[in-house]
Structure 1
Amino acid sequence: MAAWIMSYKYNLVFDGPAALQRVIEKLRTSQAYVGEGDGAIWLKDQKQSTLAVYDVRLTKLDSLSAWLEVNFRSLNLHELFDDSLAGANLRCFEDGDFDDEVTLREAFRIKN
């Protein structure tokens, strides 16, 4: 019987296509990269022992936006993602609701 995973989803809007492409390239070459499919990149925090195929999934929607799905809280994956932004601006909307903007830290379920 498969375990049910509570995931959190966010619409990420980047300040330019180069920023999104840079993030995708950095994630693909990271140690957290475990594969991809259906236009999505799958990442796992290697220090956690979750049974899920991926802990975080990023799916590119267009040149400026992507869906981020976070299955498990991960400071390591947050830092990887944050570092890959390299100063680019990013807006993060929970469940794609443009009235519900959160920080990337909140999206990765990181407490202060």
Structure 2
Amino acid sequence: MVTEAGVIRAAVISDPGFAWLDIRHGIAYGGLALSLKYALRDHEMAIVQTALLVFCITVGYGAVMEIDQVFRPDRIATLADAASNAVGAGVALALSGFRRQSSSLPASSSDEF
């Protein structure tokens, strides 16, 4: 759907059971989760621990942003947005396969110089 200003808006899911889901929030927080996953890829943690850490950080950040909106008169905080954030993070992590991905760069040695 295109608004008067020509800005393309996110597609709305037609199933009324998912009317609360905001695709824009899901995409944004999915991207955040994948960024955190990438940042933590070389840490020595179990895969499940890393997945839980990334998910909790992402959902926690989204919750803080929603709580912050309570104190801003021009913003509206909703549980639906917080849930959309969590769904986006979870789906992105699940689709990424959350396998251990180490850096493809060779390990540096102090003997090279």
Q: State the TM-score bracket (shorter-chain normalisation).
A: under 0.3
Q: Which structure's residues are more often helix, by fraction?
A: 2
Larger Rg: 2
